C-alpha cells in the first residue's frame, strides 16, 4: 500500500495541529503503507510508532524493534521516512561477531521505544506544540507517560480525524476492497449451495472458511456469525444449531487482509423449507428496502436521506420496526463499523470513493434474525455493489 502520510498532514494543518504521534497498528499502516509485526500481534503502543510534523518539509520519523529494522528498511526504501530502531532482548548479532569472534561492548543502557519517541518529538520541534494523539487507542498509563515527558505540549485527540480520512478510499484501496469482496462473495455463494434443512451452523462456517483460505489472499474474519433459527436473533458465534423446516439461516461475516488490516462485512438471511408467511413477508420488505437504498445512493446525497429510504419503507409495513442505523463505513478495522454511519443524524454527503456496508436488519427475540447487507462503493455517478453474486433468495 502507498502511504497516506500527506492526507493526514493535510488534515492536521486544517485542524490547527503542529504534528501527531501515530500509535495504533492500523493508523501506522495508513500513514506508512505497511504494518509492524509485533505491533500488530500485541496491539501494544510503542512496539512501532511514527512521529510526524504537519509541515510537508519535515520527514516523518518511525521506530520499531531492532529485530524488525531490516524489514522496515525494505518497506520504507525511497519513501522518505526516517527510521531509527530501538534495542530489544533479541540480541541481534553481526556475522563478524559470530564467525570471527569480534568483541562487542554491551551498552550501559539499552535505548527504548520511549527514548526514540522523545528524540523524534524534539527532532520535529513538537515538544511545546499541539500534538495529535489517538486517545481512543492509547491506554491511560501511556497517555500519562506522554504528559509527563512533554509537559509543555498540548495533546489533542485525533482518533476521529483518522476515521474521517479513511472514509474516502484511494484507487489502490478501492482495488483492495474489490479483491477482498470477490473472495468473500465467492465464499458466501458456496455457503448458499449447502443452505438447506438439516445443515449445521458448523458446516456453514466451515464451508466459508475453507473457501476463503483457498484464495491464498486473505483470511475469514474470526467474528463471522453463521446461525440457524433462534440463534439468529442474538449475537453469537456458530454453535450446535441445525436448520429446521421453516428456519431462517443467517450469516453476518467477512474476510480481512491480515497485516494490511482491510476488512469486509456482508450478510444474507435465507428462509429454508416451509417458512411462516409473516417471516417471508418481512424478508421481502427488508430486501426491497435495501435495494431502494442502493438505487438511491449517489454522490451529493445526504446520508440521513439514504437512511430514511430504507428505514421508512420497512416501518410503513411493520410499524414496530426500529433501527439506529442502516449501515456504515468500513476500512482497516479492528472494528468493522466506522463513521459515517447511515443514520438519521448524519448530514454528511456521499462522496465518490466511500465504501459502505448497506444493511437492513431485523431481529425477533427467540424466533429468528434477518440481515440484508452488501458492500457498496460510491462511484462518480452512482454506486457499485461489490458483493453482487451471493443470492438473497435460495
One domain, residues 151 and 215: no
pLDDT per residue as tens digits for the range 119-141: 999 999 999 999 999 999 999 99
Rounded Cα–Cα distance for residues 368 and 269 (Å): 10
Last residue of a domain, one of 166, 190, 222: 166
Average pLDDT rounded to a whole number, residues 249-274: 97
Q: Give domain status of residue 392, yes or no.
A: no
What confidence category does residue 97 fall into, taking pLDDT thresholds of 50, 70 and 90?
confident
Given the DSSP bridges, would you call strands 130-133 and 154-157 parallel, antiparallel or unpaired? parallel
pLDDT at 89: 87
What is the CATH classification number for the domain harbouring 316? 3.90.230.10
Count of structural domains within the chain: 2
d(CA 162, CA 238): 33
Quick check: 389 pLDDT over 90? Answer: yes
Q: Are residues 345 and 234 in the same domain?
A: yes
Q: Tell me the three cell numbers of residue 326.
A: 442502516
Q: Is the preceding peptide bond at 340 cis, omega within 30 degrees of 0?
A: yes
Q: Give the pLDDT of residue 109.
A: 86
Name the residue with cell 469482496: 181
pLDDT at 103 over 90: no
* pLDDT over 70, % of the chain: 100
How does the average pLDDT of the chain come out, rounded? 96
One domain for residues 229 and 344: yes
> The domain that contains 148 carries what CATH number?
3.40.350.10
Torsion of CA 285, 286, 291, 295, to 10 degrees: 90
Whether the pLDDT of residue 96 is over 90: the answer is no
Within a domain: residue 391? no
pLDDT of residue 43: 95
pLDDT at 93 over 90: no
Could you tell me the pTM of the whole model?
0.94
What are the beta bridge partners of residue 60?
none
One domain, residues 130 and 197: no
Band (pLDDT 50/70/90 cuts) for residue 201 is very high
Domain boundaries, position 51: 5-166
- The DSSP bridge pattern shows strands 248-253 and 338-341 to be unpaired
CA terminus-to-terminus distance, the chain: 38
Residues 145 and 283 in one domain: no
The answer to whether residue 392 scores a pLDDT higher than 90 is yes
Indicate whether 269 and 229 sit together in one domain.
yes
Tell me the CA distances in angstroms from 67 to 27, 36, 87, 93, 140, one per residue in order.
22, 11, 8, 10, 28
Mean pLDDT, rounded, for 200-226? 96
Amino acid at each position: 500500500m502507498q502511504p497516506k502520510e500527506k492526507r493526514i498532514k493535510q488534515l492536521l494543518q486544517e485542524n490547527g495541529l503542529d504534528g501527531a504521534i501515530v500509535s495504533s497498528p492500523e493508523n501506522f499502516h495508513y500513514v506508512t503503507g505497511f504494518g509492524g509485526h509485533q505491533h500488530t500481534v500485541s496491539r501494544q503502543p510503542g512496539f512501532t510508532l511514527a512521529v510526524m510534523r504537519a509541515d510537508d518539509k519535515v520527514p516523518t520519523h518511525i521506530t520499531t524493534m531492532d529485530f524488525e529494522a531490516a524489514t522496515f528498511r525494505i518497506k520504507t526504501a525511497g519513501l522518505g521516512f526516517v527510521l531509527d530502531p530501538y534495542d530489544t532482548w533479541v540480541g541481534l548479532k553481526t556475522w563478524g561477531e559470530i564467525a570471527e569472534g569480534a568483541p562487542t561492548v554491551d551498552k550501559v543502557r539499552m535505548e527504548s521505544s520511549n527514548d526514540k519517541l522523545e528524540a523524534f518529538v524534539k527532532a520535529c520541534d513538537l515538544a511545546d506544540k499541539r500534538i495529535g494523539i489517538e486517545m481512543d487507542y492509547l491506554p491511560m498509563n501511556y497517555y500519562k507517560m506522554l504528559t509527563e515527558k512533554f509537559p509543555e505540549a498540548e495533546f489533542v485527540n485525533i482518533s476521529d480525524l483518522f476515521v474521517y480520512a479513511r472514509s474516502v478510499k484511494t484507487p489502490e484501496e478501492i482495488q483492495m476492497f474489490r479483491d477482498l469482496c470477490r473472495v468473500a462473495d465467492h465464499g458466501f455463494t458456496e455457503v448458499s449451495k449447502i443452505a438447506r434443512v438439516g445443515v449445521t451452523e458448523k458446516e456453514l462456517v466451515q464451508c466459508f472458511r475453507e473457501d476463503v483460505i483457498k484464495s491464498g489472499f486473505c483470511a475469514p474474519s474470526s467474528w463471522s456469525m453463521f446461525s440457524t433459527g433462534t440463534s439468529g436473533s442474538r449475537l453469537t458465534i456458530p454453535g450446535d444449531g441445525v436448520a429446521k423446516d421453516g428456519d431462517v439461516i443467517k450469516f453476518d461475516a467477512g474476510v480481512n487482509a491480515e497485516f494490511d488490516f482491510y476488512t469486509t462485512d456482508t450478510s444474507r438471511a435465507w428462509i429454508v423449507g416451509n417458512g411462516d408467511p409473516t417471516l417471508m413477508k418481512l424478508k421481502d420488505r427488508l430486501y426491497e428496502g435495501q435495494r431502494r437504498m442502493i438505487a438511491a445512493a449517489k454522490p451529493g446525497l445526504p446520508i440521513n436521506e439514504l437512511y430514511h429510504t430504507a428505514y421508512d419503507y420497512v416501518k410503513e409495513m411493520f410499524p414496530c420496526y426500529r433501527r439506529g442505523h442502516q449501515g456504515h463505513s468500513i476500512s482497516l478495522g479492528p472494528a468493522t463499523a466506522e463513521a459515517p454511519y447511515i443514520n438519521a443524524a448524519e448530514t454528511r454527503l456521499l462522496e465518490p470513493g466511500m465504501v459502505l456496508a448497506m444493511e437492513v436488519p431485523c431481529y425477533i427475540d427467540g424466533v429468528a434474525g434477518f440481515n440484508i447487507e452488501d458492500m457498496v462503493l460510491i462511484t462518480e455517478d452512482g454506486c457499485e455493489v461489490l458483493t453482487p453474486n451471493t443470492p438473497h433468495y435460495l
